[in-house]
A and B are shown apart, each in its own frame.
Chain A
Amino acid sequence: MTAGPLRRHTFVVYVEDKPGVLNRVASLFRRRAFNIESLTVGHSETPEASRMTIVVRTDAIGARRLEANLYKLVNVVRVQDITVGPAVFRELAMVKVTATAETRTHVMQLVDVFRARVVDVAPDAVVIETTGTEDKIDGFVEVLRPYGILELVRTGRVGMMRGARSVMIDPDPTEPFAPDPREDDGRSDDADEPGEGDDPNISYSV
C-alpha cells in the first residue's frame, strides 16, 4: 500500500560481520520489491559489526515497513532511517578525464574550484578524486564531460547523523516497531538539499 509521495530514504544498518549477511539484506529488498538506489558496506566503529548505508526510494509507510523487515533478519543489529533528522551525506567519486597539453590547465582549474584532488597524472589523462553530496558530484561530472570522461566510479551515499548521538549505542528513542504513519510529520523528505553540508561559497549548478 502507498502513503504519500515517494522520497529518498537513507538507512543506516548495522549487521553482524558474518558470511552471507549482505546477501540476506539485498535479498530482502528484492523480495519485498523495494528498489535500492545505492548500498555501501564497510567496517564500523565496532569490530563485530559492519555498517551499511542504504538509499531507497519509497513512501513513509514503506520506509517503516522496510525498517521492520530489516529487523526480522536475525543478523541485523540496528536500523535507523537517518533521513528524518539532521544528517550529513557524502559520496566519493573517481573520474578519469582526458587531459591533453591544451586542456590540462582547464581541467586543473575545475579541480580547484570543486576542491577535488588529482590522484594520478598520465601524459594524456588525469584521475580525479572528489567527495561531496550527490549534487556536487553530479555537477562536477557535468563540467568535466566536455573534456572526455574515460571512466567514472561513484561509491554511493554514506551518511551519519549530526550531533553526539550514535546509532549503535544510543538509537532513535521512538518506537521503531510501532510505526504510525499518522505521526508522520513530513520531515522525511530527502535532507539532501542543494549545497547541504558543502562550502556555501561554491555553486555547483551547470
Chain B
Amino acid sequence: MAAMRTGAQIIWEALVREGVTTVFGYPGGAILPAYDALLEYPVRHVLVRHEQGATHMADGFARASGQVGVAIATSGPGATNMVTGIATAMLDSSPLLCITGQVGSRLIGSDAFQETDVTGVTLPITKHNYLVSDVDEIAPTIHEALYVARSGRPGPVLIDVTKDAQQATTELDWNPRDVKLPGYRPDLRASDAVYRRAARLINGAKRPVILAGHGVLLAGASAQVRELAERADIPIAMTLLGIGGVPARHPLNMGMMGMHGEAWVNAAIQEADLLLALGMRFDDRVTGNVRTYAPNARKIHVDIDPAEFHKNVRVDVALAGDLSAVLDDLGPLVETGDRRAWRTAIADMKGDVAVRDIQNLPDSGHLYAAHVIHDIWRMTGGRAIVVTDVGQHQMWEAQYYHHDEPRTLITSGGLGTMGFALPAAVGAKLARPDAEVWVVAGDGGFQMTMAELATIAQEKIKINVAVINNGYLGMVRQWQEFFYERRYAATPLLSPDFAKLAECFGLRGETVRTRAEVEPAVERARGDERTVVIDFQVEQEDTVYPMVPAGADLHDMIRRPSPAPIVETARDA
C-alpha cells in the first residue's frame, strides 16, 4: 500500500528521487504548501533576494554541472520576476526547471490576488510548460519536465502548480511512467547519404574551418571535436559560448570568431572554402552581414535542432543529431589531412596583431580591464570557472582569459542579460564546490543584481568578484563613441563604493587603481575564506577591439589602434 502524500510533499519527493539536491527560490502565498513540506526533505534551498536571481543561479548550476538547475517561486510577481532568467536559459539552451505556485484552480481566470497567466507569459520563452491542477499529475509531470529540459536541445521548462493541487493528498506510487511524448524527437539521425555528402565536402576542402559552438559543450563532444580537427588538420574558431569546448592552448584553436573575435580569425572564415559548423547557430553576432559571409565556403551544419538549418545562413549539408553521436559516425568517413598550406596562410593573416595587443605594450601606469583579466587568468592558472556579466568586460574576458576546459566560462550569450553574473556564479559554485569561481562584471550589470551579495553572505558561499569599474555603461558608451558621435546619453554611471558595500554585507571588499595592486589583491581574495569583491577602477573610455560593427561585413573590422596606448611586458604571458 503506497503512502499518502500531499501534492506539496510529492513535489519534493519527486525532485529528490530525480536526483535534485539544490534549489533556488523565494516563498510566497501560492507556493506556501510546498515550502512547508520542504523542511521534511533533504534538499538545499538557497533563499535568493529576487526571483531573477533564482533563475540565474539555477542556470549557472546547470551550465557548470550539465545537470538541470531548479528554481522555485510563487505565483504572480514571483513568477514574472523569473521571466528574464527563463529567457536567458532559452536563448542559451540551458536546462532549467522552474516550479511556480499558482492560485487555487477555482480562482484561475478571476484575476485573483497574485494571479498571472504564467504558462501564457512563459510560453514563447520555455521549451515547454505545464499547468498542473491535479495532485496525481505532479509526480509524472516533474519526471517528464526534467526529461524534456535535459534531452535534445536543452532548455527551460516551467511547471505551474495550483495551490489546491499542492494541498490535496493522494497515494504516491513512485513509479514514474515512461515519458509518452509521441511527437517529441530528441534523438534524430540523418541518413547515411547525408553523412557521405558531409565527408566528401570535408575531404575535398583545402581551406576548411571548424566553427565550434555551445553544442560542443552540451553534447560533451570536446574530445571528439579535437580528434577530428587533429586528424583532418582543420583549424577551429569558437563562438562565445563555445569557449572551453576546445582548449585555448590547442595549436589548431584560433580563438573566438565574430563581432569581437580577432580579425585574422574572421579573415580565415571569410577565406575558407568549407565551414564545418558544430553546434552553433550562425547568430548575427558571429556572421556580420550574412550576404557577404564566407562567400566561397560550402557549409556543413551539424545541430540537434533542425529548426536552425537555413535560418540565418543557407547551408549545403544539414546534419541533424546529437553532436557526439554525429561525430561518432562522421569521424570514420573523414580522411587524415595535412593542410599545412592553409595553416600557413592563416598565420600570415595574423600580421601585426600581436604587436597591437595591449599585453605587448609598455606600461603607461593606467589600469586597463585587459590587464585585470589577464592577471586573473595568470594567477588562477586558467583553471577557474569565470562567470561574466554582459558588456565590454565580457568581451575582454573572452579575449584574455584562456579557457582550457569545458564549462569554465559561464556567460549570457544569446540574450545578453546584464545582472547574470553574480547569481549565476552562486549556482556554479554550488554545482562545483571545489572549483575556484570568479565573477567578472561591469559596474552597471553588477548593480542590477548585487542584492544577491546578501544571499552569498547568508549561504556562506565563497566566490571572488571582480568589478570592472569604468564609470560608464561601457559597451553602450563604446557604441555611442563609434556610431553616435560620442553623445553619451545615459551612460555615465555613478556607483557606490563597492568595497564598502561588500563590507556591509559581511563580506570583504577592496579597491584597486593601479596595475601594481592587481596581483596582491587577487592573491588576497583567493586566500580569503569569505567572498571578496574587488573594485577595479579601470580606464574610463577604453574600447573593445577589434570590432565588426553590427550588420557590417565580417572582414570589415575596426582594428586596434597602433600603437596602442598601453604596455606590458611579454614575460608574464
Interface residues of A (CB under 8 A from B): 1, 3, 14-16, 19-20, 23-24, 27, 31, 61, 64-65, 68-69, 71-78, 175-182
Return chain B residues, CB-CB under 8 Å to A77: 182-183
Neighbouring A residues of B182 by C-beta, 8 Å:
16, 77
A sample of 22 cross-chain residue pairs with beta-carbon separation below 8 angstroms, ordered by A number, consists of A1-B290, A1-B314, A20-B119, A61-B314, A64-B309, A65-B307, A68-B307, A71-B185, A71-B307, A72-B307, A73-B183, A74-B181, A74-B184, A75-B183, A76-B183, A77-B182, A178-B194, A178-B306, A178-B309, A178-B318, A179-B310, A180-B317
Whether the pair B183, A78 counts as a contact (CB closer than 8 A) is yes
8 pairs of A and B residues whose beta carbons are closest in the complex: A77-B183, A177-B306, A68-B307, A68-B306, A177-B320, A74-B128, A69-B307, A76-B183
Interchain CB contact (< 8 A) of A178 among B124, B190, B305, B314: B190
CB distance from B352 to the nearest CB of A (A): 36
Counting chain A CB atoms within 10 Å of each CB, the highest count among B120, B124, B182 belongs to B182
Q: Closest CB-CB distance, A92 to chain B, in whole Å? A: 28
Given the known A-B contacts A1-B312, A76-B183, A178-B320, are A27 and B194 also in contact in the complex, defined by CB atoms under 8 Å? no
CA distance A24 to B130 in the complex (A): 12
A61 to B307, CA, bound (A): 11
Nearest chain A residue, comparing its CB with the CB of B185: A71
Q: How far is the CB of A8 from chain B (nearest CB, A)?
A: 20
Query: In the complex, are the beta carbons of A181 and B310 less than 8 A apart?
Result: yes
- Counting chain B residues whose Cβ lies within 8 A of the other chain, the interface size class is 20 to 34
The residue in chain B whose Cβ has the minimal distance to the Cβ of A177 is B306
Per-position 1/0 for B103-132, Cβ under 8 A of A = 000000000000000011001100110010
| Min CB–CB distance A178 → chain B (angstroms) | 5
Nearest Cβ on chain B to A176's Cβ, whole angstroms: 8
Docked-complex contact B123 and A27, CB < 8 angstroms: yes
Closest to B312 in A: A1
Q: B313 contacts which chain A residues (CB < 8 A)?
A: 1
Residues on the B chain within 8 Å of A182, using CB: 316
B residues less than 8 Å from A69 (CB atoms): 307
Closest B residue, CB atoms, query A60: B310
Chain B residues in contact with chain A, CB under 8 A?
119-120, 123-124, 127-128, 131, 148, 181-185, 188, 190-191, 194, 290, 305-307, 309-314, 316-320
B residues within 8 A CB of A1? 290, 310-314
Give A15 to B183 CA distance when docked, in angstroms. Answer: 8
Task: Name the contact of B183 in the complex, choosing from A20, A27, A74, A175 (C-beta under 8 A).
Answer: A74
Closest chain A residue to B181 by CB distance? Answer: A74
Residues of A contacting B185 in the complex (Cβ-Cβ under 8 angstroms): 71, 177
Specify which of A61, A68, A177 lies most central, judged by the most chain B CB atoms within 10 Å of its CB: A177
Name the distance in Å between A83's Cβ and chain B's nearest Cβ.
Answer: 18
Q: Which residues of B contact A3 (CB under 8 A)?
A: 310, 314
CA distance A3 to B312 in the complex (A): 12
Contacts of B314 in A (CB 8 A): 1, 3, 61, 181
With contacts A1-B290, A77-B183, A78-B183 known, is A175 near B309, CB below 8 A? Answer: no
**Minimal Cβ-Cβ distance residue in B for A168:** B182
User: Interface centre among A14, A19, A65, A178, by most B CB within 10 Å?
Assistant: A178
A72 pairs with B305, CB closer than 8 A: yes
Q: Across the two chains, which residue of chain B brings its CB closest to A78? A: B183
Residues of B within 8 A of A76 (CB): 183
Apart from the given pairs A72-B127, A177-B306, 11 other A-B contacts in the complex at a CB distance below 8 Å: A16-B182, A65-B311, A68-B307, A71-B185, A72-B307, A74-B127, A75-B183, A77-B183, A178-B318, A178-B320, A179-B309
Given contacts A31-B124, A71-B185, A74-B181, contact A178 B311 (CB under 8 A): no
Q: How near does chain B come to A68, taking the closest CB pair, in angstroms? A: 4
Closest to A3 in B: B314
Q: Please, which residues of chain A bring their CB within 8 A of the CB of B119?
A: 20
Q: How far is the CA of A23 from the CA of B313 in the complex (A)?
A: 29
- Chain B, Cβ-Cβ closest to A30: B124
Instruction: From the candidates A14, A65, A71, A73, name the one contacting B309 in the complex (CB within 8 A).
Output: A65
Report B-chain residues with C-beta under 8 Å of the C-beta of A177: 185, 188, 190, 306, 320
Assess the A68–B190 pair: CB atoms within 8 A. Answer: no
Q: Which residues of A contact B181 (CB under 8 A)?
A: 74
Q: In the complex the two chains form, is A175's CB within 8 Å of B194's CB?
A: yes
A25 to B: closest C-beta gap in Å: 11
